[in-house]
Structure 1
Amino acid sequence: MSAAARFDRGHTDDLMSFLAASPTPYHAVANAAERLEKAGFRQVAETDAWDGTSGGKYVLRGGAIVAWYVPEGAAAHTPFRVVGAHTDSPNLRVKPRPDTGAHGWRQIAVEIYGGPLMNSWLDRDLGLAGRLSLRDGTTRLVDVDRPLLRVPQLAIHMDRNVSADGLKLDKQRHLQPVWGLGDTVRDGDLIAFLEDEAGLARGEVTGWDLMTHSVEPPAYLGRDRELVAGPRMDNLLSVHAGTAALAAVATSGGELPYLPVLAAFDHEETGSQSDTGADGPLLGSVLERSVFARGGTYEDRARAFAGTVCLSSDTGHAVHPNYAERHDPTHHPRVNGGPILKVNVNNRYATDGSGRAVFAAACEKAGVPFQTFVSNNSMPCGTTIGPITAARHGISTVDIGVAILSMHSARELCGAEDPHLLANALGAFLQP
């Protein structure tokens, strides 16, 4: 019997459900909040005064969530253990004036968000989802999870050299999806359609944050179903694992020398500089208010932050069988080999030797193997919320994640065992 056959797939099954139900950051944090509510967490409003009572609490702001658990009798200077992640993924997002078209085709005007593998969005059935802002000041989530849009690729007969020279896409001209036929472009058609889909009256929507998504559901792949193919693994895989770990720790009843925290931010793919991004004040504000709500002083806040450690959990690169030369020759992370520790001496990742020791201890406690990723010296390294979190809040931060293929594609690929291994390691980190 193979290792995959012995593997309990419950966590990965739940991850696939989470991915399918979370086509946008707004849906992702709503689903994470729902899971935390079942574990006894309650939402607190940033505009309210906070109390210092024990238990699980969370804040929602747009596409970001910060959740934390206060053990009974926790001192104001108690340090935090933070799992950091991000909720956004590269995709095509709807422009302010979405209704367009030409030559008898009705189209939707989109803008490129982040750094997607643009060819992966071609000839793929797309749905539309996001957040609608209403006239009364409230918001409503919407998800049209059926084939609605498509970006058709040019036939090879009209681009004879595409196979030899490679596909070249103009972001403005070549990526506007079609969604119907008609010679007349009518402003307001898309929003009127979404108002109908959401059960709203015409004219009720006055603002929107909308994005496309592949409607093909996540699926096990391979002879032994050792792999999982699906959308938005970068980085909802980490959001899901962090949510599961925090909920498990909060309901375990064990002693906690730290306050466990989940911080899932938006806008990592575009630099994190927003009120819901890791380079904004959200995490620091929540942690400080937690200290002060328990009667702490600025000195207690400083002591708590000095002892705090954050695991920045984001997907990384598994060795690619067709492009092994692009990887560092001595670091070849494999899928189903356990989470990866990400290292870069130029601080594109925040990991240092002491951080490695913290992560190694968590993996050892959980009985989870881990691997190390470092980039090929000839190629620039990507980055994460890790260095941002370390620099902005002055807290020790370690970059980790799960090794995947097809990062930034509309459909990515990971090992079926790795999500559960990551969640176990995060749980051991939150409850050392």
Structure 2
Amino acid sequence: MKATSLNSQLFSYLGKATTPFHAVKEICLILQNSGFSCIDEKEEWDIQPGKPYYFIRDGGSVIAFNIGKKNDTSFRILGAHSDSPCLQIKPHADLYEKSYHRVGVEVYGGALLSSWFDRELSIAGRVIFQTKKNEIVTELVDFNKAAAIIPSVALHLDRKANTEKSLNPQTDITPLIGLTGDPQPRLTEQVTEWINAQHGEKVVNEILSFDLFLYDYHKPCYAGMNNDFILSGRLDNLLSSFLAATATASADRNNSFLFICNNHEEVGSNTSSGAQGNMLLSLFERIYPDNEKRYRVLANSFFISVDNAHAIHPNHPEKHDPSHEIFLNRGPVLKINASHKYASTASSNAVFKYLCLEAGVPVQEFVMRNDLQSGSTIGPMTAAKLGLKTVDIGAATLAMHSVREMTGSRDPHLLFLVLQHFLLCDNLPEIQSK
């Protein structure tokens, strides 16, 4: 697949995957179009070799897998996550004051809050409601319009805004969605109207619960005089989930392979659908109920955890280790940390580097400055829980955790080539002890 075609598909995915639930919906469409069958965790499974399957947990996490027709003794595993730092709307959202209608929000993950001001924001997520027929239904909602904004305080009213500004997440980031009226509008009423409009009739009796988020309404685009860059919301980590899903869709079904996309990575992964939950372990226990065989399969498997990496900032090169500077459009990044915030080891790094050599793709190595704290990924959690040989890698990124992030326009294709080669190559390299 050419880079321009891949980027076009990536842009479409990013524009539709406005929340983890929408991301999983789009991933499932990619899988369905390649012949994957949906199965349900609550039902009995009849898994056939060479027939790929997927299942969803709690709407925001998905696993796709295939037991190889020729090789069922090891799995080639890709992992990413579906969530991104953002603002999540509180259950009792509506706030009315000074004729304005605002909604209360919580900060989800490590959002770079300053980037959320003075931008067109929309609202999306999932809503669970009771229907007129007394059924309980979950539906995805996306207003797909400039529905909210967080206006800055004018410089005339805050002369220290450019020098001493600090943000209070309780008081400074409450989005404005309209003016009050008579009667006062409620967000749930507007959500109800949106759902009813999609059905062409009144289907909602009462909204019971929701997971609604704000997102940057602007669509993905190229940037730079020569289109060197890609700008988009949620590149961390939808870039990785899209590339991993697309590579998985074209994997060799003679081999055993698996793609997991977890929710809740940005808030610690300690949920039933997060990397600290049992989602992946339960799958292996079901397809290999015999402990001995399951342990052998896991010991022979290899896991690539894909999550974005920090490119060197042009205005602040001092924030980076001078011996490990990372650049846009120069290939995927190996992420290394002595405290194992990343799961990469010398042996797993060597395997990934060898894959890059075979795929003809350059590779970079990232290490955090000693006086700055590293982030983490689903890699160490998954490796520890299942005993998997694991490497943490990703695409170089600027403005990570901003409402709008940035990567190189060649980086998605370079990363995809390696992931695709990982799933298609005849044999993974083995390290011999001497």
Q: Which interval holds the TM-score relative to the shorter structure? A: over 0.9
Question: Do 2:129 and 2:204's aligned partners in 1 also have CA atoms closer than 8 Å?
Answer: no
Alignment of 1:6-85 (within 5 A): 8-54=3-49, 55-61=51-57, 62-75=59-72, 78-85=73-80
Question: Do 1:99 and 1:185's aligned partners in 2 also have CA atoms closer than 8 Å?
Answer: no
2:67 partner letter = V
Structure 1 residue 364 displacement after superposition: 1.7
Structure 1 residue 276 displacement after superposition: 0.8
Runs of 5+ unmatched residues, structure 2: 197-201, 426-434
Q: What is the CA–CA distance in structure 1 between the aligned matches of 2:206 and 2:251, rounded to whole Å?
A: 42
Summarize deviations over 1:342-389 as a string: whole Å, max 9, x none.
000111111011101111122122211110000011111111111111
Q: What is the CA–CA distance in structure 1 between the aligned matches of 2:71 and 2:328, rounded to whole Å?
A: 39
Partner of 1:3: none
Partner of 2:99: 104
1:337 partner letter = R
Q: Secondary structure at the match of 2:250?
A: helix
1:229 partner letter = L
Is the counterpart of residue 415 in structure 1 residue 414 in structure 2? Answer: no
Q: What is the CA–CA distance in structure 2 between the aligned matches of 1:82 and 1:74, rounded to whole Å?
A: 14
Q: Secondary structure at the match of 1:300?
A: helix
2:167 partner letter = L
Structure 1 residue 183 displacement after superposition: 6.3
Summarize deviations over 1:114-141 as a string: whole Å, max 9, x none.
1111011101111100011122233100
Alignment of 1:200-279 (within 5 A): 201-250=203-252, 255-256=254-255, 259-279=256-276
When structure 1 is superposed on structure 2, of 126-135 and 406-415 the one drifting more is 126-135
Question: Which residue among 126, 129, 142 is the counterpart of 1:131?
Answer: 126
Partner of 1:282: 279
Q: 1:383 to 1:39 in 2, by over 3 A?
A: same
1:285 partner letter = S
Summarize deviations over 1:239-261 as a string: whole Å, max 9, x none.
000011101114xx6x42xx111
Q: What is the CA–CA distance in structure 1 between the aligned matches of 2:395 and 2:143, rounded to whole Å?
A: 29
Question: Do 2:88 and 2:105's aligned partners in 1 also have CA atoms closer than 8 Å?
Answer: yes
When structure 1 is superposed on structure 2, of 390-399 and 271-280 the one drifting more is 390-399
Q: 1:377 to 1:70 in 2, by over 3 A?
A: same
Summarize deviations over 1:279-298 as a string: whole Å, max 9, x none.
10001111222224xxxx21
2:193 partner letter = D
Q: What is the CA–CA distance in structure 2 between the aligned matches of 1:97 and 1:163, rounded to whole Å?
A: 33
Question: Do 1:101 and 1:185's aligned partners in 2 also have CA atoms closer than 8 Å?
Answer: no
Partner of 2:177: 179
1:58 partner letter = Y
Runs of 5+ unmatched residues, structure 1: 1-6
Structure 1 residue 421 displacement after superposition: 1.1
Question: Do 1:43 and 1:57's aligned partners in 2 also have CA atoms closer than 8 Å?
Answer: yes
Q: TM-score, normalised by structure 2?
A: 0.92
Summarize deviations over 1:268-317 as a string: whole Å, max 9, x none.
0110000110010001111222224xxxx211111111111111100010
Task: Tell me how many residue pairs correspond in the alignment.
Answer: 413
Q: Secondary structure at the match of 1:163?
A: coil
Alignment of 1:393-412 (within 5 A): 393-412=386-405
Structure 1 residue 185 displacement after superposition: 8.1
Summarize deviations over 1:85-144 as a string: whole Å, max 9, x none.
111001111101011121110111111101111011101111100011122233100101
Q: Secondary structure at the match of 1:207?
A: strand
Q: What is the CA–CA distance in structure 1 between the aligned matches of 2:284 and 2:260, rounded to whole Å?
A: 10
Q: What is the CA–CA distance in structure 1 between the aligned matches of 2:287 and 2:101, rounded to whole Å?
A: 51
1:423 partner letter = F
Q: What is the CA–CA distance in structure 1 between the aligned matches of 2:71 and 2:183, rounded to whole Å?
A: 61
Partner of 1:342: 335
1:233 partner letter = L
Partner of 1:159: 158
Summarize deviations over 1:28-81 as a string: whole Å, max 9, x none.
011000010000001100011111312110011120011012222554xx2111
Question: Do 2:359 and 2:418's aligned partners in 1 also have CA atoms closer than 8 Å?
Answer: yes
Q: What is the CA–CA distance in structure 1 between the aligned matches of 2:183 and 2:334, rounded to whole Å?
A: 51
Is the counterpart of residue 146 in structure 1 residue 145 in structure 2? Answer: yes
Structure 1 residue 392 displacement after superposition: 1.3
Summarize deviations over 1:198-217 as a string: whole Å, max 9, x none.
22534332110000011110
Question: Do 1:348 and 1:387's aligned partners in 2 also have CA atoms closer than 8 Å?
Answer: yes
Q: What is the CA–CA distance in structure 2 between the aligned matches of 1:396 and 1:81, rounded to whole Å?
A: 10
Q: What is the CA–CA distance in structure 1 between the aligned matches of 2:3 and 2:262, rounded to whole Å?
A: 30
Q: Secondary structure at the match of 2:136?
A: coil
Q: What is the CA–CA distance in structure 1 between the aligned matches of 2:389 and 2:5, rounded to whole Å?
A: 33
Partner of 1:384: 377
Q: What is the CA–CA distance in structure 2 between the aligned matches of 1:404 and 1:154, rounded to whole Å?
A: 30
Q: RMSD between aligned alpha carbons?
A: 1.5
Question: Do 1:45 and 1:59's aligned partners in 2 also have CA atoms closer than 8 Å?
Answer: yes
Q: Secondary structure at the match of 2:381?
A: helix
Q: Secondary structure at the match of 2:287?
A: helix
Q: What is the CA–CA distance in structure 1 between the aligned matches of 2:64 and 2:53, rounded to whole Å?
A: 6
Partner of 2:355: 362
Q: What is the CA–CA distance in structure 1 between the aligned matches of 2:357 and 2:54, rounded to whole Å?
A: 29
Q: What is the CA–CA distance in structure 2 between the aligned matches of 1:83 and 1:307, rounded to whole Å?
A: 15
Question: Do 2:379 and 2:391's aligned partners in 1 also have CA atoms closer than 8 Å?
Answer: yes
Q: What is the CA–CA distance in structure 2 between the aligned matches of 1:335 and 1:248, rounded to whole Å?
A: 26
Structure 1 residue 223 displacement after superposition: 0.8
Aligned-pair identity (%): 37
